[in-house]
Amino acid sequence: MTAQGPVTKSLQLTEEGQLRHFLTLDGLDRALLTDILDTADSFIEVGERSIKKVPLLRGRTVVNLFFESSTRTRSTFELAAKRLSADVLNLDINTSATSKGESLSDTLLNLEAMASDMFIVRHSQSGAPHFIAESVTPGVAIINAGDGRHAHPTQAMLDMLTIRQHKGRFEGLKVAIVGDVLHSRVARSQIRALQELGVSEVRVIAPATLLPSDVESLGCKVEYDMTRGMKDLDVVIMLRLQKERMEGALLPSEREFYRLYGLNREKLALADPECIVMHPGPINRGVEIESAVADGPQSVILDQVTNGIAIRMAVMSMAMGGQMADRNRQLAERKSQ
Amino acid sequence: MSGKNQQSSSSLALIGGRLATSGEAVTVVIRDGRIESLGQPDVGHTTDQQIDVSGCLISPGFVDLCCNLREPGNGQKGNIASESRAAARGGFTTLCASPETSPVNDSGAVTNLILDVAAKKSKVRILPIGAITRGLEGELLSDMSGLAGAGCVAMGNGSRPVRNARVLRRCMAYAQTFGLTVMFAPENQALAADGYAHDGSVAARLGLLGVPEVAETAAVMEMLLLAEETGARLHLSQLSCGRSVDMLREARGRGISVTADVAMHQLLFTENALSGFDSRFHVRPPLRSEHDRQALVAGVQDGTIDAVTSQHQPHDSAAKQAPLAATEPGLSTVETTLSMGLKLVDRGELTLPRLVHSLTVGPASVIQRNAVIKQGVPADLCVFDPDGSWSPSDDTLLSAGRHHPFPHQSLPGVVRLTLCNGETAWTSEQS
């Protein structure tokens, strides 16, 4: 595993190693990932109170900048921001500026003029949040809510939180990710998180057309045969299959995919009896997962949704803390001059 | 260095330098634009001007087979005046201008326009490449004979694909009728699809759309077979894969008339340059693996690859300020090409004579030209200090394109003097 270049590391971490943006899990060490999980744990309790707010981001403006539509991720980010007492602005850029030919740089300049403190960015192109983080004025935190095929780090971290809740550890776990890894930003972030947190094995299970060319370089084991791949699993993560995949000559049919790579009770029975079943949602029942499994006792899919809010609260508050630390350091430096 | 920079000097002596290829100490005397004599350093000379070039190497002026001058049509990215001046600073005296202009150079009128502007604005020689298909659309043949008559030295399709093998075959056969060299950047369009990065480990990790190696090698194989069948003089430009070098070597062994070039940045950088989504390194073909890089360098060193080009692609800043996939491909390199080559020499990957050869004799022979230092030839010379260093920056670069590979870095090799036809195209005393 090569860690991502020092450029990205210095972009998303402060000199003291605090998060100032949350763009990718590359370059973040186990201690920091654990810190995120621990912080999220403390916010889970907030969600159980009758008054579900803490004042950490009071007076801050959080902009949901979604260049690609999403209901679930956007609403959990919105809820997380509101529980942190931030003001939230939802911008669906799909239908506004960029369709009028405005460049992303120009859109950003306009948004910055509104004195926002944090952008939650979803974009169809890999690396777009990196570009935004490099372009915005210092002091604005960028949180990646999914970019192209690159990364979906909050999703991966909420998955890690779910695994930790159910398994209590990462060491020694065997985890499989099944389905369309090629197009999946979720899978890339999950693979990185699982490896950094020290699981013993990450398998990817899919036909060759749905795997990146050099997938072994990510450090996972490739398995084409799902019945073999399910053996001894502690965690199985199913990925959503987009219908477009049939058109690009990547798959013959949904039916064949379900027969070979869909998770049903028979295949699940091949795993460890305590194996948990995860899915980032939204689920295609009967395409990648059988209803009886999605709703069954081993499924933790709804826990993932609940944990999503806590993880997003954790990451947002930590990134804002990093930005504050940057600002305080600059002020101190200016004073000492 | 001392002396005046009068371009009207009818005679000039370069004193104290050594020939770049042999290391031989020499005094070069230039009269009326031509090399009059190559003498011993201690021989006295009676010339209008004498320039002390002690410590410098003297090479034939560099020849660039692939340079984008952006004129006509893309003034916001550069023009013949700005880019030829940048090229002269890089030691180039001959530039093959890409047909990818707006309008495309697919008619004698556009060729004449380029040559007219060049005559007025450029101190280096500009030799246009004609578009082999009309509008570079890859569908219909252009008036190749007319283009050649107007001054195009070869026919090519820039970095654009030709629709299918039938059109490609007819392009080669028609060009062969007139003995014209055809230049193609091998890329199978269907396999390259929307890719913009090498389909390797970095693309896998960052979720970039990959261009597989076979997108190039399948096209190389197809082109070699068609060249063999049609007898066309084929030049493969902008190679990026190690396997392409093997195929080229093998085809040469069978007597196929084929030459090839590689962009200098392909010899220095790999897919890792894209870590961190650095859009400057979005180039086409993409930077590939370390294995490919080494094979390309070896191909230059053993002569399988004839020429190294700048593949200079100046852009306005907006073209590079977007998420990686939305940026335009290309680096601004014409001023740093020599320095990049000298880095390879410093590392022991390339010998200095081979570097110079691949920037001079190699590319010149592809377009049936010479690039030698001998008595009687036009004085196209590059005088550079291999031990000098400089730092390219927005303030020091002459190209309109500021997206060069080395911000805040000191680079080896300073071009002191570039002479084209005996006239000063660049001297470091200007800056």
Q: Note whether B275 contacts A4, CB cutoff 8 Å.
A: yes
A212 close to B (CB below 8 A): yes
Rounded Cα–Cα distance for residues A26 and A91 (Å)? 28
Greater confidence (A242 vs B384) lies with B384
Cβ B236 vs Cβ B260: under 8 Å: yes
For B115, residues 6+ apart whose C-beta sits below 8 A from its C-beta are B126, B128, B150, B151
pLDDT at B45: 61
CATH architecture of the domain covering B11-58+376-430:
Roll (2.30)
Q: Where are the alpha helices (DSSP H) in chain A?
A: 6-12, 30-48, 72-83, 104-112, 128-135, 153-167, 185-197, 226-229, 254-261, 265-268, 291-294, 301-336
* Measured distance CA(B134)–CA(B344) in Å, rounded: 39
Residue B42's pLDDT is what? 60
Q: With bands split at pLDDT 50, 70 and 90, how would you rate the model's confidence at A242?
A: confident
Q: How many CA atoms lie less than 13 Å away from B175 in the CB half-sphere?
A: 34
Name A273's Cβ contacts closer than 8 Å, sequence gap at least 6: none
Of A7, A11, A126, Cβ closest to residue B325: A126
A1 pLDDT more than 70: no
pLDDT digits (tens, 9 = 90+) for A205-241: 999 999 999 999 999 999 999 999 999 999 999 999 9
User: In chain B, which residues have their Cβ closer than 8 Å to the Cβ of A11?
Assistant: 276
Average pLDDT, chain A: 91
Burial of A50 by CB count in 10 Å (0-12 exposed, 13-18 middle, 19+ buried)?
exposed
Residue B4: per-residue pLDDT = 43
* Contacts (Cβ under 8 Å, ≥6 apart) of A75: none
Q: What does DSSP say about strands A141-147 and A118-123: parallel, antiparallel, or unpaired?
A: parallel
Considering chain B, what percentage of its residues have pLDDT values greater than 90?
90
How many other CB atoms sit within 10 Å of the CB of residue B311? 30
| Selected residues 320-359 of chain B with any CB under 8 Å from a CB in chain A | 321-326
Q: To 10 degrees, what angle do helices A104-112 and A128-135 make?
A: 50
CA distance A307 to A294: 17
Cβ–Cβ under 8 Å, residues A188 and A221: no
Q: Are B80 and B64 contacting, i.e. CB atoms less than 8 angstroms apart?
A: no
Asked if A213 reaches chain B (Cβ–Cβ under 8 Å), the answer is yes
Contacts of A105 in chain B (CB under 8 A): 318, 321-322
Q: What is the mean pLDDT of residues B112-139?
A: 97
User: What is the average per-residue pLDDT within B98-111?
Assistant: 97
Decide if B323 and A7 are in contact by the 8 Å CB cutoff. no
| pLDDT value for B166 | 96
Q: Residue A148's closest CA among A181, A122, A180, A179?
A: A122
Contact B18, B25 (CB under 8 A): yes
Question: Do the Cβ atoms of A213 and B199 come within 8 Å?
Answer: yes
DSSP letters spanning B381-414: EEEEEEEEEE---TTT--SS----S-TT--EEEE
**pLDDT reading at B2 higher than 70:** no
Query: What backbone torsions phi and psi does residue B182 show, to the nearest 5 degrees?
Result: -110, 135
Q: Locate tokens 């979803």: which residue?
A: A122
ipTM comes to 0.90
**Best mutation target, A21, A25, A131, to test chain B (most B CBs within 10 A):** A131
A307-318: pLDDT as tens digits: 999 999 999 999
Class of CATH domain A153-300:
alpha beta
The confidence score (pLDDT) of residue A248 equals 83
pLDDT band at A70 (very low <50, low <70, confident <90, very high): confident
Q: How far apart are CA A61 and CA A101, in angstroms?
A: 26
Range with lowest mean pLDDT among A95-109, B215-229, B283-297? A95-109
**Residue A208 forms contact with B (CB below 8 Å):** no
Nearest to A213 among B204, B324, B326 (CB): B204
- The C-alpha torsion from B386 through B390 and B396 to B400, rounded to 10°, is 60
3-state secondary structure B114-155: HHHHHHHHCCCEEEEEEECEHHHCCCCECCHHHHHHHCCCEE
Task: Kindly determine whether residue A127 and residue B201, on different chains, have CB atoms separated by under 8 Å.
Answer: no
Q: Which two tokens stand for residue A214?
A: 């050099």
Measured between alpha carbons, how far is B333 from B336 in angstroms, rounded to an integer? 5
d(CA B273, CA A10) in angstroms, rounded, equals 16
CA dihedral B5, B7, B10, B12 (to 10 degrees): 40
Residues of A whose CB is below 8 A from B214: none
Strands, sheet with A221-223, edge to edge from the N-terminal-most edge strand: A221-223, A201-205, A174-178, A235-238, A276-278
pLDDT band at A335 (very low <50, low <70, confident <90, very high): confident
The CATH number of A6-151+306-336 is: 3.40.50.1370
Which residues between 260 and 299 in chain B have a beta carbon less than 8 angstroms from any beta carbon of chain A? 272, 275-279
Question: How many other C-beta atoms lie within 10 A of the C-beta of residue B294?
Answer: 14
Per-residue pLDDT for A99 more than 60?
Answer: no
Backbone angles phi, psi at B334, to 5 degrees: -65, -25
Report the length, in residues, of chain B. 431
Extract the tokens encoding A80.
């997380």
Tens-digit pLDDT profile for residues B369-414: 999 999 999 999 999 999 999 999 888 899 999 999 998 899 999 9
Average pLDDT, chain B: 94
Enumerate the β-bridge partners of residue A64. A90, A120
Report, as an integer, the average pLDDT of B86-100: 97
CB A148 within 8 A of CB B324: no
Tell me where in chain B the CATH 3.20.20.140 domain(s) lie: 61-366
Helix axes B213-230, B165-177, angle to 10 degrees: 40
Neighbours of B146 (CB within 10 A): 15
Least trusted range by pLDDT, from A91-95, A303-307, B266-270, B271-275: A91-95
Q: How confident is the model at residue B5 (pLDDT cuts 50, 70, 90)?
A: very low
CA of A269 vs chain B CAs: smallest distance (Å): 31
Q: What is the pLDDT of residue A107?
A: 81
Whether cis (ω within 30° of 0) applies to the bond prior to B186 is no
Q: Which residues pair with B29 in a beta bridge?
A: B13, B37
- Provide the CATH topology of domain B61-366: TIM Barrel (3.20.20)
Cis peptide before B323 (omega within 30 of 0): no
Q: Can you read off the two tokens belonging to residue B123?
A: 């101190």
- Please state, in angstroms and rounded to a whole number, the distance separating the CA atoms of residues B349 and B415: 22
Which of B255, B254, B257, B219 minimizes the C-alpha distance to B240? Answer: B219
Give the residue with greater pLDDT, A101 vs B141.
B141
pLDDT value, residue A4: 44
pLDDT of residue A98: 56
| pLDDT at site B3 | 44
Peptide bond connecting B405 to the previous residue in cis, omega within 30 degrees of 0: no
Phi-psi category of A222—alpha, beta or left, where left has phi over 0 and alpha has psi -120 to 50? beta
Residues B259 and B235: beta-carbon distance below 8 Å: yes
The pLDDT score that the predictor gives to residue A96 is 54
pLDDT at position B17, please?
Answer: 95
The closest alpha carbon to B381, from B65, B2, B63, belongs to: B63
**Beta carbons of A4 and B205 less than 8 Å apart:** yes
Residue A97 has pLDDT above 70, yes or no: no
Place of tokens 């004042």: A55
- The total number of residues shown for chain A amounts to 337
Quick check: A3 pLDDT over 50? no
B312 pairs with which residues across the strands? B67, B331
pLDDT-based confidence at residue A243 (cuts at 50, 70, 90): confident
Interface test with chain B among A25, A150, A181, by most B beta carbons within 10 Å: A150
Outline which parts of chain B fall under CATH 2.30.40.10: 11-58+376-430
Strand partners, B378: B34
Average pLDDT value for residue range A137-142: 90
